[in-house]
A and B are shown apart, each in its own frame.
Chain A
Amino acid sequence: AQTVTQSQPEMSVQEAETVTLSCTYDTSESDYYLFWYKQPPSRQMILVIRQEAYKQQNATENRFSVNFQKAAKSFSLKISDSQLGDAAMYFCAYRLSNFGNEKLTFGTGTRLTIIP
């Protein structure tokens, strides 16, 4: 079974600084997707960024980027120029790529606090 581990229950960063959230996963599969979702105090689940395992290039979305290390089964999220609106729970998630096996497996989350 696939598992996702987020070893940092809480992180904090000064506004405008950079922070990196860690995620590791365990799988015997070679083809899969990885995601970071953000859950602000409103408890919505918002997609931040997505990475296909077959792509060597790390995904980026504006201030958000990932460091995907397939051999190490590591998928960290870097937030640059942190803003107050980035304060939220961040969940790392994994999914197999084959049709018919589409469930997301989530980690336990990292609570990010932005210090003004």
Chain B
Amino acid sequence: GAGVSQSPRYKVTKRGQDVALRCDPISGHVSLYWYRQALGQGPEFLTYFNYEAQQDKSGLPNDRFSAERPEGSISTLTIQRTEQRDSAMYRCASSLGLTVDWAGGGLLETQYFGPGTRLLVL
């Protein structure tokens, strides 16, 4: 595909509602990452997948946040019972994962980011 896509681009919801944010990675990318970016800050890691396996969810702030990638492609980040402090830009990134460089060594590929979903919880 042309790049990482995310939907919706903007989401306004009321406190207490559940939201689902979708990420469609670049075709062929096996690794997928979720980050959250507050205004004026750098992105903060939430979780990531290799294929369909969730490898690290240490950045998820609490059990209201969950993510899945059931077929190893599209991923959904779900926030249950949203709170105003959840308002932020949610970014998805994808990469080829681990490849072999010219010297035969392992090389972690670069993460490419999507446009983000701006979430506002009222």
Binding site for B on A (CB under 8 A): 4, 33, 35, 37, 42-47, 50, 91, 93, 95, 97, 99-109
Point out the residues of chain B lying under 8 angstroms from A46, CB to CB. 113
What total of chain B residues lie within 8 Å of the partner, measured CB to CB? 27
Task: Tell me whether A105 and B45 are in contact (CB under 8 A).
Answer: yes
Residues of A within 8 A of B56 (CB): 100-103
Residues on B with beta carbons closer than 8 Å to the beta carbon of A104:
33, 35, 43, 45, 93, 111
Quick check: is B61 within 8 A (CB to CB) of the other chain? Answer: no
A64–chain B nearest beta-carbon distance, Å:
15
Contact A45 B91, beta carbon cutoff 8 Å: yes
Contacting residues of chain B (42-76) with chain A, CB-CB under 8 angstroms: 42-45, 48, 55-56, 59
Inter-chain contact B115/A43, CB cutoff 8 Å: yes
The reply to whether A99 and B45 contact each other, CB–CB distance below 8 Å, is no
B42 x A44 contact (CB < 8 A): no
A102–B108 touching, CB < 8 Å: yes
Query: Could you say which residues of chain A place their CB within 8 Å of the CB of B106?
Result: 99
In the bound complex, do residue A35 and residue B115 qualify as a contact, i.e. CB atoms below 8 Å apart? no
Find out whether the CB atom of A35 lies under 8 angstroms from the CB atom of B108: no
Q: Which residues of B contact A103 (CB under 8 A)?
A: 33, 45, 48, 56, 59
Q: Do the beta carbons of A109 and B42 come within 8 Å of each other?
A: yes
CA distance A35 to B108 in the complex (A): 13
Known: A43-B116, A100-B55, A102-B48. A35 touches B42 (CB 8 A): no
The answer to whether B122 has its CB under 8 Å from any CB of chain A is no
| Nearest residue, chain B, Cβ from A91 | B42
Instruction: Identify 11 new A-B residue pairs, CB closer than 8 A, beyond the known A43-B89, A99-B98.
Output: A43-B116, A45-B91, A91-B42, A100-B56, A102-B55, A102-B95, A103-B59, A104-B43, A108-B40, A109-B40, A109-B42
Among B31, B41, B115, the residue within 8 A (CB) of A102 is B31
A103-B33, A103-B56, A108-B42 given as contacts; is B110 within 8 A of A44 (CB)? no
| CA A46 to CA B116, docked complex, whole Å | 12
Cross-chain contact B110 with A47 (CB below 8 angstroms): yes
Considering the complex, which residues of chain B in the window 85-122 have a beta carbon less than 8 Å from any beta carbon of chain A?
89, 91, 93, 95, 97-98, 106, 108, 110-113, 115-116
Determine if A106 and B113 form an interchain contact, defined as CB atoms under 8 angstroms apart: no
